[in-house]
Structure 1
Amino acid sequence: MRFVVLGAGGIGCYYAARLVAAGHRVVLVARGAHLQALQQHGLQVQHPQFRFQQAVVATDIDGLVRDYAATSVDWLLLCAKSSATQPMLEQLKVWLAAHASLPVLSLQNGVDNEAHIAAAIGKQRTIGGLAVKIGAHITAPGQVDATGIGQVDFGAWPQARDNPMLHAKLPLLSQIFSEAKIPNTIYDNVNYALWRKLVINNGVNPLTALTLLDTQALTQHPVFSHTVRAMMQETARAANAEGVALTAADVDEMYQLICGFDAIKTSMLVDRLKGRPMELADICGPVIRGCQAAGQPATTTELIQALLLNTVATATA
């Protein structure tokens, strides 16, 4: 099959490498020094159970539009930062319109990306998704270190019953992922899965960026561990306000999951360490918005976000 990985950072490169190793044709869309390294030296991925080092096909967005017809692509994986979703879709507006049935799978943080994709190309082409139990970061241009099982959970957005034709195509993608040794699950209600992941992301990402601790140190800390749980509870409250039923059991399960996972640097921590914009609007934003709508402000999430923004502003002043 023919894939485009749009936003080939750590996560995107890991899945691209798995697909290439399984014999699929993949075009990686990246930029800057990372793109140059991919083009000149290939991609190197280091994972405890997977090693990949070989030439890959890589380009930027302009090159994708110029050199690759959308009709020659079977699946597009969107792995970019959430803040890049709308600008990328706008850049690719004409290109995407040329292939009226090209499905787009979002593997991004947050719960708002799918709505942006659907607004641009229609929900009949929009697959909600999330990368589960994986940490993957660019350690040098063209080089990625990854850990975890790298599962992909996905489903027709917003639910299978709303999008039956796209849902019927997903077993093929599931088979492709499985053969590429990417564990995966198809959800009938992918919004539920997206909000469950946001429980983890909001629980640890902002706090790791504030404290500079990895997830294991954070969840083992006698004080910060309580803050993690409080932010997870606020996320569940926001989900319920948005019509997605998350229970205390969901929160407990997500808390135990992150406590038992490998020590990882979250994407938000890595962004702060590298001086890059953080995905606060996409991770904390929906929680704050949902809790405000419910009349129960997300006071802990608001506090951690404010402290983090103030700390970064003070450090760069």
Structure 2
Amino acid sequence: MKFAMLGAGGIGCYYAARLIEAGHECILVARGNHLTALQQDGLHIDHADFHFDQPVTATDVGGLCRDHDSQSFHLLILGAKGGATQAMLAEMDDWLGTSSVPILSIQNGVTNEGLIEACVGRERTIGGLGIYISGHIVAPGKIKAQGAGQIDFGAWPTTALNPEMAQLCQQLSEVFTQAQIPNRLYDDVRYALWRKLVINNGVNPITALTDLKTGAVTQDPVLRKTVYTMMEETARAANAAGVPLKKADVDEMFDLICHFGDIKTSMQVDMEQGRHLEVHEICDPVIEYCRQTDEPAVTTELIARLLVNAATA
């Protein structure tokens, strides 16, 4: 199959390398020094169970639209930060309009799929996320990744509301499995997205604010309670959004992050490097949906405000 990885950062490059290693074609869409390194020196992946070091085809969004026929792709995978989704889709709008190629999001947050649907239609939208994976660009063209690297996905917003996408999702599941990418198909992918947001909202803002890795945060007696509280607020927001998350979901996600390993979150790395923080994509849905209930997300609101102030100080 032929793929394009839109936003080939740490995690996007890892998945792209897995697909390439399995014999598929995958064009990496990146920018800046990272793009230059990919074009000149190839892609280097360092993972406990997977090492990749070979030339790749890489371009920027403009080059993708100029030099490649959108109809030639079987799938576009959107791995960019959520804050870039709308602008990237707008830049690609004319190109996307020349085909019926579907788009799979593997991003953080619960708002990306709505933006994709608004651009290309529900029938071309696949919701999804990367889970059990941490990946960062340690130098242009060089990726350090850890974790099982699973992709959870499904027709957006549900198989029942987008049945024509079910067959492609099943085919993609088989392709991912053959490429040694663990995956899980959901009839209601919104459930998977909100479960992932439980982790993202629980630890990403606090690690960015404190500059502590996840292990240090979850072992600290005060911060540990704060993480759990923000996870509870996320589940409450999910319920307000019509996605039933229970205490068992919160407990499972809390146990997962406590035992995943001592890692830097993507938001922590963005804070260190002065990049855009995914506060709007991660914290704001929790805050907005909880405001519709009798219990505002007080802790998430506090941490988000402190984080934004710290980032702009």
* TM-score, scaled relative to structure 2: 0.99
- Which position in structure 1 is the counterpart of 2:43? 43
Per-residue CA shift, 1:9-62, capped at 9, x if unaligned? 001100000001111011000000000000000000000000000000000011
2:118 partner SS: helix
Deviation at 1:236, TM superposition (A): 0.5
2:239 is aligned with what amino acid?
Answer: N
Deviation at 1:295, TM superposition (A): 3.0
- Which position in structure 2 is the counterpart of 1:65? 65
1:3 is aligned with what amino acid?
Answer: F
Unpaired runs of 5+ residues, structure 1, are none
Aligned pairs, number: 313
Deviation at 1:311, TM superposition (A): 2.0
2:55 is aligned with what amino acid?
Answer: A
Is 1:275 aligned to 2:271, yes or no?
Answer: no
Q: Determine the C-alpha separation between the residues in 2 that align with 1:88 and 1:307.
A: 29
Per-residue CA shift, 1:95-117, capped at 9, x if unaligned? 111112x1100010100000000
- Which position in structure 2 is the counterpart of 1:140? 139
Deviation at 1:199, TM superposition (A): 0.3
Unpaired runs of 5+ residues, structure 2, are none
List aligned pairs for 1:164-243, cutoff 5 A. Answer: 164-243=163-242
Per-residue CA shift, 1:216-262, capped at 9, x if unaligned? 11111111000000000000010011100011111111101111102
Per-residue CA shift, 1:73-112, capped at 9, x if unaligned? 0010000010111111111111111112x11000101000
1:149 partner SS: coil
Per-residue CA shift, 1:113-168, capped at 9, x if unaligned? 00000000001110000101100000000000000000000000100100111012
Per-residue CA shift, 1:176-233, capped at 9, x if unaligned? 1011100000000100000000000000000000111111111111110000000000
- Which position in structure 1 is the counterpart of 2:263? 264
1:9 is aligned with what amino acid?
Answer: G
Q: Determine the C-alpha separation between the residues in 2 that align with 1:214 and 1:121.
A: 38
Deviation at 1:266, TM superposition (A): 0.4
- Which position in structure 1 is the counterpart of 2:25? 25
- Which position in structure 2 is the counterpart of 1:111? 110
2:276 is aligned with what amino acid?
Answer: P
Q: Determine the C-alpha separation between the residues in 2 that align with 1:268 and 1:156.
A: 28
Q: Determine the C-alpha separation between the residues in 2 that align with 1:151 and 1:216.
A: 21
Q: Determine the C-alpha separation between the residues in 1 that align with 2:262 and 2:80.
A: 23
CA RMSD for the aligned pairs?
0.7
Q: Determine the C-alpha separation between the residues in 2 that align with 1:277 and 1:73.
A: 30
- Which position in structure 2 is the counterpart of 1:151? 150
Deviation at 1:308, TM superposition (A): 1.3
Deviation at 1:312, TM superposition (A): 2.4
